[in-house]
Amino acid sequence: MIQTPKFVTRLFPKQIWEYSKANNAIYLTFDDGPIPQVSPWVLDQLNAHNAKATFFCIGDNVTKYPAIFNKVIAASHGIGNHTFSHYNGWKTSVKNYTKDIEKCAAVLKSHLPGFVPLFRPPYGRITPKQARILQAQGYSIVMWSVLSKDYDHNISRQQCLKNVITHIKPGSIVVFHDSLKAFKNLQYVLPKVLAHCTKMGWQCKALPVSK
């Protein structure tokens, strides 16, 4: 599903799926980085359009590439936790899942002491119990309203662009990936999405702290 159905958002009302359209903003998000082959290019594209975004980082990648992570911070983009090891919540015990998230949080906080706990579950898969524990710890669980599917090699780059352009509107949370798997589609799609937002008069912003 490219656009998250309304019945899904109503089933999980405590998770964040989109924001108000009143402020005329788009919320671009990038999962799975940072990595040197892709993330700097993404930062350059965002900078060229005076756009801000939120990066849901894998703790292991932050550990491997701290300089790239610090560039994301220096550019004033938002930061979110995407687990340390990219665990699938449906296939991971509550204990191991939360421990992995805590491990990622420790890495993020070592670079960003004031880190606000935003979390996105890898694959969008998280159990109700896992979600309740994280929310009790102060995490905002951020999902999405538009999934680009940039990681899917079975779709063309033109279809990937259509996935976004057809559904994006003020308040949308859009999922991209700063990963090698997604880079072929992302290289084509991201500049065009940013240009589209500029043409429409929409400002690309980092996710707000509260809904």
What pLDDT score does 151 carry? 97
The encoded tokens of residue 109 equal: 């906080």
**Catalytic choice (77, 100, 150, 177):** 177
The pLDDT > 70 percentage for the chain reads 99
Residues comprising the chain, all counted:
211
AA letter at 106: A
| Residue bearing the bigger pLDDT, 210 or 35 | 35
AA letter at 195: A
DSSP, collapsed to helix, strand or coil, labels residue 153 as: coil
Whole-structure pTM value: 0.96
What whole-number distance in Å separates Cα of residue 119 and Cα of residue 65? 20
Q: How far is CA 5 from the centre of its chain?
A: 19
**To the nearest whole number, what is the mean pLDDT of the chain?**
95
pLDDT at 105 over 60: yes
Domain 27-204 fold: TIM Barrel (3.20.20)
31 is catalytic: yes
pLDDT at 72 over 60: yes
> pLDDT, tens digit, for every residue of 139-189?
999 999 999 999 999 999 999 999 999 999 999 999 999 999 999 999 999
Listed residue (174, 160, 190) closest to 120, CA to CA: 174
pLDDT at 210 over 70: no
Taking residues 45-71, what's their average pLDDT?
A: 98
**Catalytic choice (31, 32, 150, 178):** 31
Q: What is the DSSP letter of 65?
A: -
Listed residue (27, 20, 71) closest to 52, CA to CA: 27
Taking residues 77-98, what's their average pLDDT?
A: 97
The encoded tokens of residue 134 equal: 């994280």
Q: 81: which residues sit within 8 A by CB, 6+ positions away?
A: 56, 57, 59, 101, 104, 105, 108, 117, 118, 119, 120, 139
77 is catalytic: no
Taking residues 88-111, what's their average pLDDT?
A: 97
Confidence of residue 211 (pLDDT cuts 50, 70, 90): very low
